[in-house]
Amino acid sequence: MPGTRDQPILFGPFCLDRGGARLLRDGKPVALTPKAFDLLQLLASKPGRLITKEELLAAIWPDAFVSDASIKVAVSEVRKALDDGAKTPQYIETVHRRGYRFIGLGSAKPQADKAPAPKRADESPKPAPAPSTIAGRDAEMQRLLERFDRAARGERQCIFLTGSPGSGKTALVQTFIDHLRGLGVSPEHSGGAAPRLRSGETPKPHPDTPIPT
């Protein structure tokens, strides 16, 4: 018997809730009479095993005198509830003149992947490095992203971007800023970020930042 007495049995889109005495299909109840439920529970709890007619009668109708016809009626009801067929069964197989066998265990639908755990409030987003759209500037873009990552963690950073006129300094900075904005990060309002400089203005180093000589 799979699991404990009250542990649900899963097969196909169905869940046999033994503790609640009900059959569910995709989470919705499926109507079954008590005797039909008892028959399905007995068969499903012993998958792959032949359950003889005598066993079924003794377990489901212990205090009543009934014939094999009662078993056929209950089996027919269960098959109808499961959309199962006698000729090409998916769940309940007939063993001619002997009894029935449950063959549906192991056909349960795989459960959907769990949703990703939410990020903790103290986890600051880190911009993922992305290929630069400026040819030959991948190394510079990577260096800017690494520096910004450190600044986002509270480590003060000071960067000097130098080069001859027309070498693409402005385009590199703009591409970097556009990349951050695409990740939902505002470089203008990030903690510890230096204010924007006007055209032609000389950057002033922070008092705590040593000037290389």
Identify the CA nearest to 78 among candidates 33, 107, 36: 36
Q: How far apart are CA 91 and CA 113, in angstroms?
A: 26
Q: List the strands of the sheet with 14-17, edge to edge.
A: 9-11, 14-17, 22-25, 28-30
Identify the CA nearest to 15 among candidates 40, 50, 49: 40
Q: Which of 40-54, 127-141, 185-199 has the highest mean pLDDT?
A: 40-54
Identify the CA nearest to 173 among candidates 212, 145, 204, 211: 145
Q: What is the pLDDT of residue 172?
A: 73
Identify the CA nearest to 48 among candidates 11, 12, 102, 2: 102
Q: List the strands of the sheet with 92-95, edge to edge.
A: 50-52, 99-102, 92-95
Q: What fold is seen in the domain 9-102? A: Arc Repressor Mutant, subunit A (1.10.10)
Provide the residue ranges of all domains of the chain, joining segments of one domain with +: 9-102, 121-213
Q: How far apart are CA 88 and CA 190, in angstroms?
A: 66
pLDDT average, residue stretch 60-78: 92
Alpha-helical runs (H) found in the chain? 34-44, 53-60, 68-82, 138-152, 169-182
Q: What is the pLDDT of residue 211?
A: 40
| Of 209 and 89, the one with more pLDDT | 89
112 class by beta-carbon count within 10 Å (0-12 exposed, 13-18 middle, 19+ buried) = exposed
Q: Which pTM does this prediction carry?
A: 0.49
Identify the CA nearest to 22 among candidates 14, 30, 11: 30
pLDDT category at 197 given cuts 50, 70, 90 is very low
Mean pLDDT of the chain: 75
Length of the chain: 213
